[in-house]
Structure 1
Amino acid sequence: MLSAISMTMQRMLHHIYKHGSLSTSGRIPKEKPGAMLHSNMKRFSSSTTLFFLSFVFAILCTSKAVIKIPRNETISAVIMFGDSIVDTGTNNGITTLAKYNFLPYGRDFKGGIPTGRFSNGKVPSDFLDFEQYIGKLKGIVGEERTNFILAKSVAFVVAGSNDIANAYYLSGIRKAKYDELYGVGARRICVLSVPPLGCLPSQRTLVGGSEEECAKEPNQASQVFNDKLSRELGYLNNNLPNAKVVYIDVYNPLLDIITNPKKYGFEVANKGCCGTGSIEASILCNKLTAFTCTDDSKYVLFDSYHPTEKTYQIIVDGILKKYINSFL
């Protein structure tokens, strides 16, 4: 399944790279539906430059949104694969410049201690209240129980933003391979869309958006990608035995927050809280960075790329309320 997602993304990016732009129709070479789904389904590739694995097992329950699950349904685990949006600090021990384990990141987390989360506080994966974390599942519960847990789990995939924002506009395509979700037994898979990248301060600065308007080209790329992704996931949902593959739209919810900030209790949506808010992220956003805001609850975004905890909470609550029944 993930190879299909990644190949859709790579074809789109290759088309943009080759032709220099996207048409308003977002047309890219047509292919037979499902042609990207190979019979082996063993590996997938992605150009995501910040792609971290957060493997979290838990009982699904949010701290704010109350979600009722039918008695005859079981969600044995929540497994999250994703980029910096859901990373809880898993790259702290990796040699990379893309670290966020220093202030002001994490200043609103418990104790005000930075953990590596790419925000001022919690990230989406934190809004699932976990009763239990299991590291080496097979070694504890055995093969049979592991298969049951995987079959009844819900896997969330959050990836693609870096491919458009970083890989296409800055560095070209890079590949990385990971095990297939469906191939190892996952049957309920939720894939999040790419957000309106042109509305992020970093893209407004780099690609040419203004304080009032979002950069058009990155947003257009996001829309084309999301359209192709949605269609491919629909095909997979109809053709993978016993699978529930759900496309989750985060593009429009975040766009609405950014274009109508006061509706959600925000004051600033065109720049981040950290520094000038136009380009600062990672090492450029640190405890010595001047002009960092004192009240990030007024901001949709914490740095030039990542939302604040308050924004994440609004989005996660909306996702659970809208889509919970789709993957039960």
Structure 2
Amino acid sequence: MDSTSTCYGATIKYLVLILSIGSECSGVIRAQDNKSGLGASFIFGDSLVDSGNNNYLPTLSKANIPPNSCDFKGSGGNPTGRYTNGRTIADIVGEELGQPNYAVPFLAPNSTGKAILHGVNYASGGGGILNATGRIFINRLGMDIQIDYFNITRKQFDQLLGASKARDYIMKKSIFSVTIGANDFLNNYLLPLLSTGTRITQTPDSFIHDMINHLRDQLTRLYQLDARKFVVSNVGPIGCIPYQKSINQVNEDQCVDLPNKLAQQYNIRLEDLLSELNNDLPGATFVHANVYDLVMELITNYNQYGFETSSKACCGNGGQFAGIIPCGPTSSMCSDHSKYVFWDPYHPSEAANLLLAKQLLDGTDKRFISPMNLRQLRDLS
């Protein structure tokens, strides 16, 4: 990993990373074949997998300032809009599955022409399953809007490849990744002051019921647009992130109970939903990624994985765990980014993302990834 000084050297540069060079083209072109069998990676979700969409929104949720992305080799350490020091889980998974370029952010000016053949990232910091989620940030792309944008991409694929080849490419050679739900709790149901009315009028069970119903409709809509290979992550242990630990002033080895209970309650319902969709949508495969237990394993046994702490943010300010003020140029920062599970008050470090991605890609324990891992999903005919 780069040193602290390398990260802060990025303060004079506010360049948006061009992940792949797109070109406008007319007529039908051939999809670029690769030996891996992966065509495109379509990424939906929140700040855990946003690769720069929020750079192009008037929003309070942005990561296009240093030292974010300071260990991202593709940008030379310049900010990219990723809410971590390096690659997201989605970046790593795409690399490992054989993508030559990262999925381009939908809102980026280069998300045109051939660039989209490797995939498109629709994820947005602050976005959620429910449309009201993240309103505190003023602007964000919720899941419904992200699917609206995929519908645009879907038509572009027809123009690029021809209708028949486009459908085959999307159905058989592409993976749809969905990482969403945490903001529906953190920046909706549990939001201090603004959510008080919601919690009075709606029980946790009722709120989660709404989330599941919306997500069912959203995943079904993607299926109707020819998505067939899905990986859907559950909500991680949000009561253990440095932000929650800081504002609730818990001990280093404690997590905040309510957010974790809500996440677990939602996760049970999500697993049932994915089983339902596997049965009800012919030809579709929904892989369940149990991120909650994978992240909890890192948090609980961090020293066994080479980390120094799983409580404190590497980059942040405020409270015992540097977890109140988001990562920015004036933040305090750890000297070795690879020794921290959390990069900032909310998001894992690249070192943690690497370990999590490895389990999703090659794991054989059905408790964590089922009914198959992501390499098996890619190779599914």
TM-score by length of 1: 0.73
Kindly state the Cα deviation for residue 106 of structure 1 after the two structures are TM-superposed: 1.1
Q: Does the CA contact (< 8 Å) of 1:77 and 1:154 recur in 2?
A: yes
Alignment partner of 1:270: what SS?
strand
- Counterpart residue number, 1:165: 186
Q: Does the CA contact (< 8 Å) of 2:46 and 2:179 recur in 1?
A: yes
**Number of paired residues?**
260
Rounded to whole Å, the distance in 1 between the matches of 2:354 and 2:315 is 19
* Structure 1, unaligned runs of 5 or more: 1-53, 62-68
- Counterpart residue number, 2:285: 244
Rounded to whole Å, the distance in 1 between the matches of 2:65 and 2:243 is 20
Rounded to whole Å, the distance in 2 between the matches of 1:237 and 1:207 is 39
Kindly state the Cα deviation for residue 207 of structure 1 after the two structures are TM-superposed: 4.2
CA separation of 1:90 and 1:58: change in aligned 2, threshold 3 A = farther
- Counterpart residue number, 1:209: 250
- What's the C-alpha RMSD, in Å, of the aligned pairs? 2.7
- Counterpart residue number, 2:40: 77
Match for 2:162 among 124, 139, 142? 142
Q: Letter of the 1:149 partner, please give it.
A: Y
Alignment partner of 1:303: what SS?
coil
Rounded to whole Å, the distance in 2 between the matches of 1:60 and 1:256 is 35
CA separation of 1:242 and 1:89: change in aligned 2, threshold 3 A = same
Rounded to whole Å, the distance in 2 between the matches of 1:278 and 1:120 is 16
Alignment partner of 2:178: what SS?
strand
CA separation of 1:188 and 1:145: change in aligned 2, threshold 3 A = same
Identical counterparts, % of pairs = 35
1:97 to 2:60 alignment: yes
Larger RCO of the pair (alpha carbons < 8 Å, separation 6+): 1
Alignment partner of 1:242: what SS?
coil
- Counterpart residue number, 1:234: 275
TM-score by length of 2: 0.63
Q: Runs of at least 4 residues of structure 1 off by over 6 A?
A: 57-61, 173-179
Q: Letter of the 2:185 partner, please give it.
A: I
- Counterpart residue number, 1:131: 100
Rounded to whole Å, the distance in 1 between the matches of 2:316 and 2:277 is 43
Q: Letter of the 1:286 partner, please give it.
A: G
- Counterpart residue number, 2:49: 86
1:286 to 2:286 alignment: no
More helix by share: 2
- Counterpart residue number, 2:360: 319
More displaced stretch, 211-220 vs 166-175: 166-175
Q: Does the CA contact (< 8 Å) of 2:85 and 2:343 recur in 1?
A: yes
CA separation of 1:300 and 1:60: change in aligned 2, threshold 3 A = farther
1:261 to 2:302 alignment: yes
- Counterpart residue number, 1:225: 266
Q: Does the CA contact (< 8 Å) of 1:60 and 1:77 recur in 2?
A: no
Rounded to whole Å, the distance in 2 between the matches of 1:139 and 1:204 is 49
Kindly state the Cα deviation for residue 326 of structure 1 after the two structures are TM-superposed: 5.2
Kindly state the Cα deviation for residue 294 of structure 1 after the two structures are TM-superposed: 2.0
